[in-house]
Structure 1
Amino acid sequence: ITCNSFSCGLLAGSVFGAVIAILGGILIPVGDMIIERTVKKEAVIEPGTTAYDNWASSEIAVYRQFWLFDVKNPQQVVQEGAFPEVQEKGPYTYKTRYLPKANVTFNPNNTASFVLPMGAIFEPSMSVGPEEDTVTTLNLAVAVSVSASHILLDMVINSTNSSLFQHRTVKELLWGYNDPILKDTIGLFSPYNGTSDGPYNIFTGKDDISKVSIIDRWRGETKLSFWNDTYCDMINGTDGSSFAPFVDKDVPLYFFSSDICRSVSASYEATMNLKGIEVYRYSLLPSTLASPVDNPDNKCFCRNYETTKNCTLAGALDISSCSDGRPVFISLPHFLQGSEYLREVVLGLHPDEEHHKTFLDVEPITGFTLNFAKRIQANMMYGPAKDITVLNKVKDYTLLPLAWLNETATLDDKTADMFKRELISRIDMLEIVQQVLLIAGVIIFFVCLIAFFCVRRKSKTNLG
């Protein structure tokens, strides 16, 4: 094939375009490999990585907002056996998890161990009132002591001028007060300040990135001892603060929460935009707290056939086995996703999916949780007892809400900008380069090739 300088230039241009297009095509898998290698390297929990900086940092503020349930008709409940009517008061907000991990140790088996110091600092500007606000609530000592000798308990209740309900400040109910019946300090979250959660042992991901942040041991054990069942005593997943990179939204995320003494899973709900960053929102399924009738896997979480109506009640988890025997039940706020019965015997509850569900917003490339809301309600059980004066009018076992909390944290603007600059913008730039090369190469190839054949045809026509 002979060609003049112009047609040869066009032919060379088409070859050049093909080369550029091929280069753009090659950059796609190569670029993906570069991104994957970089992310996996930075996701390992060891000093010097992005994951370690986030893991070790205590700069992201974690808050616990509390709403307490004020009983409006205590006398009618005691004297007439009426259903309790409650009204929530809140939020009362505390800054928690502001202390860095303690006793951090990196172990030879590619795990890291640590404890989480716990503390709470009241935030008046984020609260509806001071900690000295009072509520009418269940007498915790009566609920705790009801399994003791009823005659003796009735004598103690009368001698201390106690009743089924009591008036307590927000601070007392949450963090503890000296109880006249128990002669000890009691509170929903007592003791808290100065204590710690753990120790935890987690995989660093150095030898297997798919295991990063997964809990290996909690309190020195690879399984729990609360439920006397292999399935329910499993410690699954991470602590919820991060997961393995390259999250697959079709696969549930598993995490363990010491607050509820069990592991749970969360499923993909929607893709959200968080300060310009695409995140996957995961939330708990109704099956998590479903009754064993609907979810047989939950049978081992049912501890008391009488108080749970032969394990047919949904929406409440009896954690007495991990709360020093106190009759504490954990649920979602306002018994969201719970049996209707729970809201029929306690008046004034209004569950709302948007405000009461637990969710995690996870960045899918790194697996980091960038925003979350853990919502838990603490309830205590009381029931009929003919030889206890304050209980002899009670007709049935009642699960009374005491308080619900929203533990939440989200990345700040500075962290969001850094995240977008260091990760998102680089990935976007690489994708733009790939697309520009591929599209430009294809265009150059076809334009030059078509022009070349047009010139050749014109040359043949002129020669003819």
Structure 2
Amino acid sequence: MGCDRNCGLITGAVIGAVLAVFGGILMPVGDMLIQKTIKKEVVLEEGTTAFKNWVKTGTEIYRQFWIFDVQNPQEVMMNSSNIQVKQRGPYTYRVRFLAKENITQDPKDNTVSFLQPNGAIFEPSLSVGTEADNFTVLNLAVAAAAHIYPNPFVQVVLNSLINKSKSSMFQVRTLRELLWGYTDPFLSLVPYPVTTTVGMFYPYNNTVDGVYKVFNGKDSISKVAIIDTYKGKRSIYAVFESDVNLKGIPVYRFVLPSKAFASPVQNPDNHCFCTEKIISKNCTSSGVLDISKCKEGKPVYISLPHFLYASPDVSETTDGLNPNEEEHRTYLDIEPITGFTLQFAKRLQVNILVKPSNKIQVLKRLKRNYIVPILWLNETGTIGDEKAKMFRSQVTGKVNLLGLIEMILLSVGVVMFVAFMISYCACRSKTTK
């Protein structure tokens, strides 16, 4: 009788130990099997679910614009006053709805390159007005001409053409004209061949963006679709901030750090963005990046909206700005198992540098340099409810179920082993006595 009882207790302890060991083994083995199963479908190569959804995204992506409407153009021109701006927006367009082109795999470094066709469809229901709304903004052609042609004699000629076309430092343009292009009266008078159409994003429709080069995930699914290079150059990076729950899916939130827009003194990696010694005070100012080399010499600077993270001197010539992190920072929400970006908000501001010019009448009274904010944009995309539901069931649901099974087996096994061993030891003690 005692033998039967002891044998039963030992058997129970062994079963508990086996369950605990099996639960422990399931952790690495189960995770490895799920990773292997998921990897088959999330790498960016022909035939996978991820590739099909990546080539032509089913998620609706919107680009919102806020325009800085100048309230005191005459005071700025005549007295070199601070520019007073009033933000107006959002004006919303649907973008990135066309399939990627020229997709090429590179097995050497596990990347895939492609071109993204550009297209924008105005969404009235998501906008505060129409494309015909008027704004007082900087005259892009006048500001760029004075910067591109510093020669005094050339500026005298340009000044006569500016006056003849009745152009000024500021102008009134519709939203459509400002974004997508208009025929500039000043440039139309220039005698030598020059592009007469001006716009912040001209040309756009029927053009392509890229070449983009992204990781295909074959070596590590955590790198799927992460940009390696854009047009062969270094891309801006993001850093981990926090865990976020997105429609029941645990994701990691990565944000664009202030260091990405820091001066070369603080961040040597940004040395290539600092070419304008005057405006950036020998490259010590932070918050703006000079991209004139990418814009055919035009004095274009990018920053975060409302000069978030910028040095005080950058925004000292502009009134009406109110930077805050919640509205103006850039972030990515990435699902850690697959590496997919399930939500993002890319926020950038476009600014133009304006300098005084003794030879150009409309710029003659300026006594200082201005970095004039033109607009800021917010490009956003969020996984839809149906896709989120599918993602929960196909990915996170399986992972959570496996985790639950692992914990139950481990917990039950440990409890059984401890309980039966204690009972066995107690019985042995009584028998010995």
- TM-score in same-fold range (> 0.5): yes
1:172 is aligned to 2:177: yes
Amino acid at match of 1:431: G
Q: Which residue of 2 aligns with 1:99?
A: 98
Q: Deviations over 1:40-79 (max 9, x none)?
A: 3333211332431332232111110000000000111112
Q: Deviations over 1:196-233 (max 9, x none)?
A: 012334443436657654656655xxx44xxxxxxxxx
Describe the shift of the 1:150–1:9 C-alpha distance in structure 2 as closer, same or farther (beyond 3 A): same
Amino acid at match of 1:157: I
Q: Which residue of 2 aligns with 1:242?
A: none
Structure 1 unaligned blocks of 5 or more: 225-234, 236-262
Q: Which residue of 2 aligns with 1:135?
A: 135
Q: Deviations over 1:62-110 (max 9, x none)?
A: 1100000000001111122211110110000000001111233445655
Measured in 2, the distance between the counterparts of 1:327 and 1:264 equals 20
Number of residue-to-residue matches in the alignment? 420
Structure 2 unaligned blocks of 5 or more: 189-195
Measured in 2, the distance between the counterparts of 1:48 and 1:402 equals 44
The within-5 A match list for 1:81-160 is 81-106=80-105, 109=108, 111-146=111-146, 147-148=148-149, 149-160=154-165
The within-5 A match list for 1:421-460 is 421-459=393-431
Shift of 1:443: 1.8
Measured in 1, the distance between the counterparts of 2:392 and 2:177 equals 44
Q: Does the CA contact (< 8 Å) of 2:77 and 2:365 recur in 1?
A: yes
Describe the shift of the 1:214–1:95 C-alpha distance in structure 2 as closer, same or farther (beyond 3 A): closer
- Residue from 334, 350, 368 that aligns with 2:340: 368
Measured in 1, the distance between the counterparts of 2:318 and 2:176 equals 24
1:274 is aligned to 2:246: yes
Q: Which residue of 2 aligns with 1:77?
A: 76
Shift of 1:33: 1.9
Q: Does the CA contact (< 8 Å) of 2:225 and 2:340 recur in 1?
A: no
Most deviating of 162-171 and 197-206 = 197-206
Q: Which residue of 2 aligns with 1:388?
A: 360
Measured in 1, the distance between the counterparts of 2:220 and 2:85 equals 50
Q: TM-score, normalised by structure 1?
A: 0.85
Q: Which SS does the other structure have where 1:303 is aligned?
A: coil
Measured in 2, the distance between the counterparts of 1:92 and 1:268 equals 30
1:58 is aligned to 2:85: no
Describe the shift of the 1:280–1:442 C-alpha distance in structure 2 as closer, same or farther (beyond 3 A): same
Question: Quick check: which one's helix share is greater?
Answer: 2
Q: Which residue of 2 aligns with 1:317?
A: 289
Q: Does the CA contact (< 8 Å) of 2:132 and 2:176 recur in 1?
A: yes
Measured in 1, the distance between the counterparts of 2:290 and 2:124 equals 33
Most deviating of 376-385 and 33-42 = 33-42
Q: Does the CA contact (< 8 Å) of 2:17 and 2:414 recur in 1?
A: yes
Q: Which residue of 2 aligns with 1:28?
A: 27
Most deviating of 292-301 and 309-318 = 292-301
1:191 is aligned to 2:196: no
Q: Which residue of 2 aligns with 1:11?
A: 10
Q: Which SS does the other structure have where 2:177 is aligned?
A: helix
Q: Which SS does the other structure have where 2:372 is aligned?
A: strand
- Residue from 290, 293, 296 that aligns with 2:268: 296
Most deviating of 117-126 and 443-452 = 443-452
Q: TM-score, normalised by structure 2?
A: 0.91
Q: Which SS does the other structure have where 1:5 is aligned?
A: helix
Q: Which SS does the other structure have where 1:264 is aligned?
A: coil
Measured in 1, the distance between the counterparts of 2:254 and 2:220 equals 24
Q: Which residue of 1 aligns with 2:191?
A: none
Describe the shift of the 1:418–1:335 C-alpha distance in structure 2 as closer, same or farther (beyond 3 A): same
The within-5 A match list for 1:398-437 is 398-437=370-409
Amino acid at match of 2:44: I
Shift of 1:447: 2.4
Q: Does the CA contact (< 8 Å) of 2:80 and 2:368 recur in 1?
A: no
Q: Which residue of 2 aligns with 1:228?
A: none
Measured in 2, the distance between the counterparts of 1:25 and 1:8 equals 25
Shift of 1:298: 2.0
Measured in 2, the distance between the counterparts of 1:278 and 1:217 equals 28
Measured in 2, the distance between the counterparts of 1:369 and 1:321 equals 30
Amino acid at match of 2:268: P
Amino acid at match of 1:198: G
Q: Which residue of 1 aligns with 2:312?
A: 340
Q: Which residue of 2 aligns with 1:231?
A: none
Amino acid at match of 1:170: L
Cα-Cα RMSD: 2.0
Measured in 1, the distance between the counterparts of 2:368 and 2:229 equals 40
Percentage of matched positions with identical amino acids: 50
Shift of 1:163: 0.8
Q: Which SS does the other structure have where 1:128 is aligned?
A: coil
Q: Which SS does the other structure have where 2:302 is aligned?
A: strand
Shift of 1:111: 4.5
Amino acid at match of 2:253: R
Measured in 2, the distance between the counterparts of 1:328 and 1:136 equals 19
Amino acid at match of 1:126: L
Describe the shift of the 1:264–1:203 C-alpha distance in structure 2 as closer, same or farther (beyond 3 A): closer
Describe the shift of the 1:344–1:206 C-alpha distance in structure 2 as closer, same or farther (beyond 3 A): closer
Q: Which residue of 2 aligns with 1:47?
A: 46
Describe the shift of the 1:454–1:207 C-alpha distance in structure 2 as closer, same or farther (beyond 3 A): closer
Q: Which SS does the other structure have where 2:2 is aligned?
A: coil
1:330 is aligned to 2:311: no
